[in-house]
Amino acid sequence: MKKVFTTLLLFGALILNSQNINAQCYSAVQLDGTNQYMHTPFANYTFTNFTLEMWMNSANFVPNEHYISIYQNAYLVLGGWDGSGWFDTWADGLSPVAINSGTTPSTNAWHHVAFVYNGTSQILYIDGVAVTTSATSGSVNNTVSFNSGMAIGARYTLGTQYSNTAFEDVRIWNVARTPAQLTASMNTNLVGNESGLVAYYRFEDGAGSSTVMDLTGNGNTLTLYNMDPMTDWIAGPFGTAQSTDVQSTCGPLTWIDGNTYSANNNTATYTYVGGAVGGCDSTVTLNLTVNSATSGVDAITSCDPITWIDGNTYSANNNSAMYTMFGGATNGCDSIVTLNLTINSAGQSTDTQVACDSYTWIDGNTYTASNTTATHLLPGGAANGCDSIVSLNLTVNTVDAAVTTSSLSLTANASGAQYQWVDCSNNFTAIAGATSQTYTATANGSYAVIVWGAGGCSDTSVCVAITTVSLDETLLANQIHVSPNPTTGEFAISLENYAGKITVEVLDIAGKLILTSSQEILPNDALAFNLSNEANGVYIVKIHTSIGSHSVRVVKK
């Protein structure tokens, strides 16, 4: 039975007329061996290699018949002129030029016969079996002197060697068909567009037709000569047309046989009785592919809520939302998409800063006081690519550099700090030992204090002018004697020319009062003091009289 591997696109093209159920199925022509033949001018093909094949049925295989005779550019013949009825060939230019089958097929039966040249051998096949193989040299002659076209059932001269034979499914190739290719397609209808196929005749034109269509589209149409178009068309070996219905679905398919198929199937068949051209039955084979819906994951990482393809807005991680895209898969089926969403948060950090007096931050603002509320946004500044929000934690330390003046004493307002008094008039030179909160000027001048406060911050006060140190005070300073200085603990104070009340205060270097004493004194009297119980170091001795005050540094060691 002949198969047709073509997609059945329109079942409506089948003829389903019940009146044709018992009609003749035309797929062959019968020649009488007297003067009937078929002919086409044929095109000029180059036959480096070739294959001539056909189905034939002869009542007697009489000698001197021509079955296929090509005399157009090349000279190739498949015939039976041997006295025994064997098949004989002719290929002009090859050596040997002719071979024969060496056997006779049965009469009154259909046989598949093929003549092949593959470049090294000529081969004759009968019913798919190689009955003759002959090593061959040379090449096919291709010349314009061969110009009579192609004849089926007669010699190329069209006037002799007629054949009493029925023909079906004649194929002319300019390539050598392999044994596997021959056996695979000998019982199967071709489409007509196969590579190397230059002429193809199925003989399905039917009663009333005086031509046989070349199904390759190359235009090598055969014309029937000396034949009756109404009686010489007969049923061939392949009276049932076969076709394949190629279907691809995304779900179960209810087919023309009324059955529902939910899995791939290439075996189901259905027969349209009398449905083919010429009234033959048409058998359709199902070739079904059932595709599945595809699935995929849409992985998204975002810093903000997203509106997804389902139209919903998601502001938190989600790996369960699904959306079906109908017909969205490459195979035409649905595509099911699952969301895999990760929402990253903006980065949070704190910028801790300690500054003296003021601080200019990344937001461009200058802060003169401590601040824990200012924030600044850095777009895309976080490690995850999201924004980074920075909070300020600023401590601004300030130093009180104000000075209070009392007579000759200058006192820094800041307590618990470090101090250094300087002489503004002497290029701000530090005054040796003047590191207490209070400094008493011993001479007129301009003085300031450097104050070190919290966080290592410092500031210098404005310069303060002292102009009230009198001449008597200067004289007082010149007549005060402290000895011994340095001392190990005990020391005495005397004044050369002063008589009257005197008050003495002894302070440590930090300004702490150690002892005080007030009494009357005469010139050159000595007042004794004892620092034996105090730590070694520098002490300030302040001497107050009715004519002024003066401070003296005493070193205990």
Most confident of 81-95, 121-135, 540-554: 121-135
Q: Are residues 257 and 376 in the same domain?
A: no
List pLDDT tens digits, range 372-427: 999 999 898 888 888 889 999 999 998 999 999 987 889 999 998 999 999 999 99
Q: Are residues 483 and 461 in the same domain?
A: no
Range of the structural domain that residue 445 is part of = 403-466
67, 57 Cβ separation under 8 angstroms: no
Please state the domain count of the chain: 6
Judge whether 354 lies within some domain.
Answer: yes
Query: What average pLDDT does the segment 512-517 reach?
Result: 91
Q: Are residues 192 and 284 in the same domain?
A: no
> What pTM was computed for the model?
0.46
Q: Are residues 121 and 33 in the same domain?
A: yes
**The domain that contains 146 carries what CATH number?**
2.60.120.200
* pLDDT score for 212: 96
Q: Are residues 36 and 120 in the same domain?
A: yes
Judge whether 424 lies within some domain.
Answer: yes
Judge whether 17 lies within some domain.
Answer: no
Cα–Cα distance for residue pair 520/507, rounded to 1 Å:
21
Q: Are residues 208 and 275 in the same domain?
A: no
Q: Are residues 454 and 515 in the same domain?
A: no
* pLDDT score for 471: 44
Judge whether 285 lies within some domain.
Answer: yes
Query: Rounded to the nearest 5°, which phi and psi values hold at 491?
Result: -150, 165
Q: How far is CA 369 from the centre of its chain?
A: 53
Last residue of a domain, one of 411, 438, 466: 466
Q: Are residues 375 and 443 in the same domain?
A: no
Q: Are residues 373 and 504 in the same domain?
A: no
As a three-state string, the secondary structure of 254-270 is ECCCCCEECCCECCCEE
Q: What angle do CA 97, 98, 103 make, to 5 degrees?
A: 165
**Residue with the two structure tokens 């041997």:** 82
Judge whether 493 lies within some domain.
Answer: yes
Mean pLDDT of the chain: 88
* pLDDT score for 16: 31
Judge whether 329 lies within some domain.
Answer: yes
Judge whether 21 lies within some domain.
Answer: no
* pLDDT score for 271: 83
Last residue of a domain, one of 466, 483, 504: 466
Q: How many CA atoms lie within 13 Å of 211's alpha carbon, on the beta-carbon side?
A: 8
Smallest Cα–Cα separation from 116: which of 52, 67, 46?
52
* pLDDT score for 236: 80
Percentage of the chain beyond pLDDT 70 is 91
- Does a cis peptide bond (omega within 30 degrees of 0) precede residue 63? no
Query: Rounded to the nearest 5°, which phi and psi values hold at 194?
Result: -65, 145
Query: What average pLDDT does the segment 123-132 reach?
Result: 96
The distance between the two most distant Cα atoms of the chain, rounded to a whole number of Å, is 181
Q: Are residues 522 and 457 in the same domain?
A: no
* pLDDT score for 5: 30
Indicate whether 472 pLDDT > 70: no
* pLDDT score for 475: 59
**Tally of CB atoms within 10 A around 231:** 9
Q: Are residues 257 and 313 in the same domain?
A: no
**The domain that contains 487 carries what CATH number?**
2.60.40.1930
- Does a cis peptide bond (omega within 30 degrees of 0) precede residue 305? no
CA separation, residue 180 to residues 183, 192, 193, 462, 500 (Å): 5, 19, 19, 115, 147
List pLDDT tens digits, range 137-180: 999 999 999 999 999 999 999 999 999 999 999 999 999 999 99
List pLDDT tens digits, range 478-498: 788 999 999 999 999 998 878
Judge whether 13 lies within some domain.
Answer: no
Last residue of a domain, one of 466, 483, 517: 466
* pLDDT score for 509: 83
Strands 388-397 and 347-356: parallel
Q: Are residues 380 and 445 in the same domain?
A: no
List pLDDT tens digits, range 331-376: 888 899 999 999 988 888 999 999 988 999 999 999 999 999 999 9
